[in-house]
Amino acid sequence: MAFKDAPRGSRESLKKAHAAGAARDQPSLEAVESSSQRIGHGPLEKKLEPAPRSKNAGVSTTTKTLLLLALVFQNATLNIAARRSRVAAAEEEERSGCGLRNTTVVVTIESVKILMAFLLFALERKHEHGLSVFGTIRAVARITSQHRFESAKILVPACLYVCQNNLLLVAADNLEGPVLALFGQIKILATALFSVVLLRRTLGCRRWVSLFVLTGSIATVQLSQMRQTSGDEGSKNLVLGLCVTAIISTISGFSGVYFELVLKASPISVWVRNIHLATISTLIALAAVYSNDLAAVKECGFFAGYNNVVAAYVAVQAGGGLLIAAVIKYADNILKAFATSVAIIVVSAVSALFYSFHLTRLFFVGTFGVIYAVFLYGDLLKDLPLCRRLP
């Protein structure tokens, strides 16, 4: 600079003069905008306007937290309701001779899910269009017709879920319970991997470590609840069972992340998406009733074995399906995996309190690992002096 060797006082004066000259030479924003308007362009502010944010960008952390807590509560309630419903169904079958059919329960759950999603969509559009049953039906039909390709995308996760459920039966026939529980948790890592590949999500080293810790810890918790079975070892194929389990984990991870991609990249309401998915699932479930339990349904009726406990289970399961879709849309699949893992621990604790379930040391080790993984993933350990050196 020209004023490098000047005295301190004069140097400051030269700097101010130089800045003032630069300011005079720089045209003002008003002058540029005025010139822009004179040559036929719009105001400059419109040129500098930031790009609109996505719909999910405005979802607060509080909303995500409440959704995840609701999912934990729903999962815990569902497990308890499932246990009670099995006991009640067995008692009903012993009393009347007509037992509860799982295929009919699935049809009922998906049908209730359609009704719940329809009601939520009607409430969502109430402020703009009023509360109208026929108006909501027309809106669903119009959205489905206008977005045929988007609506057809939901066929992918629906078909994959069917394949996953059928493969799970094969895995259960060829693996002992503890082995299936252990290797079944690979789906957490598969979900994270597909989130990186399909959603371009970046997971740092700390979060990958937390996911591995979560996978091992929740497997440990589930192993602590298992008892060694005395099945026919000769009828089991370990290699086949492990291969099928790997396929199940891959399908689970891909279908969940694909569903998340469809929900977040589409203008269609999450409740309309659930109507589409539940409708397809209902048709598939009806086909299962026809092929497997048609004779029993004709003899005893479609709702044979149903009671208040089963009805509660259906309601919780149907509501949980909608809640999972909301969590996937407004949070993500990885956080859903954490919430589900925490729910398993809650169920075990409740079982210990009310069902004389014995908690082993292995359970407490796994519980500590899950809690540590949750805090590690959320980067909540950095301010604790004892945890600064942990991964």
Tell me if 164 sits within 8 A of 255, measured CB to CB.
yes
Distances (CA, A) of 365 to 21, 158, 217, 275, 356: 70, 36, 8, 41, 20
Tell me if 305 sits within 8 A of 99, measured CB to CB.
yes
> What pLDDT score was predicted for residue 119?
93
Rounded mean pLDDT, 350-378: 82
Distances (CA, A) of 49 to 43, 126, 230, 388: 11, 32, 69, 42
User: First vs last Cα of the chain: how many Å apart?
Assistant: 49
Cα separation, 367 vs 375, whole angstroms: 13
Cα separation, 344 vs 322, whole angstroms: 20
Buried b (16+ CB within 10 A) or exposed e, 301-334: eebbbbeebbebbbebbbbbbbbbbbbbbbbbbb
Q: pLDDT of 256-302, one tens digit each? A: 899 889 888 888 888 999 999 999 989 988 998 898 888 888 888 88
Tell me if 335 sits within 8 A of 96, measured CB to CB.
no
Q: Token match 């999500």: residue?
A: 201
pLDDT band, very low/low/confident/very high, at 114 (cuts 50, 70, 90): very high
Cα separation, 187 vs 269, whole angstroms: 27
CA 243 to chain centre: 25
Select the more confidently predicted residue: 113 or 358: 113
Q: pLDDT of 72-113, one tens digit each? A: 888 888 878 887 887 777 777 778 777 788 889 889 999 999
* Its pTM surpasses 0.95: no
The winner for highest mean pLDDT among 22-26, 84-88, 251-255 is: 251-255
Q: Which residues contact 339 (CB under 8 A, 6 or more apart)?
A: 68, 69, 71, 72, 75, 327
- Choice among 25-39, 131-145, 225-239, 247-261 with the minimum mean pLDDT: 25-39
Alpha helices, DSSP H only, in the chain?
Answer: 8-25, 29-38, 44-47, 61-96, 102-124, 126-129, 133-146, 148-152, 155-174, 177-183, 186-199, 205-224, 238-264, 270-292, 294-300, 308-330, 333-354, 361-377
Distances (CA, A) of 272 to 164, 170, 369: 24, 33, 38
> What pLDDT score was predicted for residue 390?
55
Q: pLDDT of 191-230, one tens digit each? A: 999 999 998 888 888 889 899 988 888 888 877 776 554 4
What is the domain partition of the chain in residue ranges? 60-380
